[in-house]
Amino acid sequence: MQQFLTLEGGYLVMAFIIMLITLFVTTRPFMAKSSLKKGTLSVFLILSFFIASHFYVTTSRMSEVKEAFEADKIVICESRMQRKVAQSVIIQKSNNWVINGDNFASPNYIREFHSARCIIK
């Protein structure tokens, strides 16, 4: 559950705002009486599908990245420290990188890199 909230927290907030907008629009006098029930249900189901799909795709990519790292393959991660020059960091187990839970760490870098922001080269 913690991993779901960490990965999908921003999308859950956006979905909540979209649901509030849906509630506001479907309760207007010019809307049909059944639009509240139909509108909120359909928007909720669509948002739930997209959030669940994103979570599944992200977690499966994370597990693939971890397996590739353990096999000493090259992993490329997004670096948010320097936006102008090096926007990605190359991570490899043989280059003093370790994995702590879902994060890659190295003594050469100040911060850790989350495996959700990584791909296999």
Distance (Å, rounded) from C-alpha 99 to C-alpha 86?
21
Q: pLDDT value at position 85?
A: 62
pLDDT tens for the chain, residues 1 to 121: 778 888 888 999 999 999 999 999 999 989 888 899 999 999 999 999 999 999 999 999 999 999 999 999 999 988 766 666 667 888 998 888 999 888 999 988 888 888 888 999 8
Tokens (6 digits) for 13:
């907030």
pTM of the entire predicted model: 0.81
Sign of the dihedral through C-alpha 13, 114, 90, 72:
negative
Q: Distance of alpha carbon 63 from its chain centroid, rounded?
A: 14
Q: pLDDT value at position 25?
A: 93
